[in-house]
Amino acid sequence: MAQHLLSRMSGTGSALPARRVENEDVAKLLGKDPAYIFRVSGIRARHWVDSHEDCSSLAEQASLRAFAQAGLTPHDIDAIIVSTTSPDMPFPSTACLLQARLGISGIPAFDCSASCSGFLYGLSMADAFLRVGQFKRCLVVASEVKSRTLDPEDLSTAILFGDGAGAVILERSTNPDHGILSIRLHSNGEHHDLVKISGGGSRQPLSQEVLDSRAHTLRIQGSKLFRIAIRQLRQAIIDHVEAEKWDLSDLDQCIFHQANARMISHLCRTLGIPSERCVAIMEEMGNTSSASLPMALDFAHRHDRLKKGSRILLGSFGGGLTWGTALIHWG
């Protein structure tokens, strides 16, 4: 009888640029009190890249840390998936650039773009590859350099976003008691205007007009996004947990996209999840878009918050709109 194939995480890693940007630094650009920035976002600092850093260099650092933790080398993997909405360049993919940095070739490498939910989208694809037996191990990375798309005079974005990368090694498993139980993905394109960079693509090619209007920078309709995202993600969590015959009280750790402290607090409060079971790292890192979820996962892993057999919930939402959840038996 054929074995039922599953996938499990054997290593995690993350990376931050060295340059730390305090609220005081951002406040000077906006003419705001640093205390105000923390009050509305829960963020005290974020990290922004310097001129020699980019999306693929952060991805490389996070990947090497995941390999080291798993006791593997880049030559041990069969595919690379990179989530990003801030690639090194429009093409080739950041995944191919990462592949070259890692010194490997021949295996498939490609990007996925699902905004802040991109890590779960990439993880879902890797999980499917492993479950059907196509690959044995996949490297899934989310890497973002949002600082280079920010308008320093836009309060809604300049205070929130940081740069960083997170990576996981996903490998084939036949142990039904450990690994990814299931991943659910969702989107609603009717709300595509809530988070966007409208300029620089085929609809509005880069031009002086685009630059003058700052259409090449990130824009958010924060209040509306907050209401819709919270409602959709909360219901998705409830539905997913119930479908797998779990209970919210069974969850040992909840790791959400690190959008801002208010969103995470609201989710925990309305779902009845104690704060000590929820991982929060945005205070020192800001919102790193799709990288925030694997970075928070790596933080929890390295701080011994993920025990063998723990029931873990991952949840994210982002531009598109996109959102998703994953349930994991850690081990």
Q: Render 175-213 in DSSP notation, one character per residue.
A: -TTSEEEEEEEEE-GGGGGGEE--SSSSSS-S-HHHHHH
- In DSSP terms, which residues pair with 20 in a beta bridge? 47
Compute the CA torsion angle 264, 265, 269, 271 (nearest 10 deg).
0
The one-letter amino acid code at 194 reads L
**Secondary structure class of 5 (helix, strand, coil):** coil
Amino acid at 112: C
Q: Can you give the length of the chain in residues?
A: 331
Which residues are tagged catalytic?
116, 257, 287
The DSSP element (H or E) to which 170 belongs, if any, is strand 163-173
Is the CB of residue 145 less than 8 Å from the CB of residue 163? yes
Most distant CA pair in the chain: distance in Å? 68
Q: Which of 135, 180, 185 is nearest to 297 (CA)?
A: 180
Distance of CA 36 to the CA centre of its chain: 26
Q: Can you state the angle between helices 292-302 and 118-131, rounded to 10 degrees?
A: 70
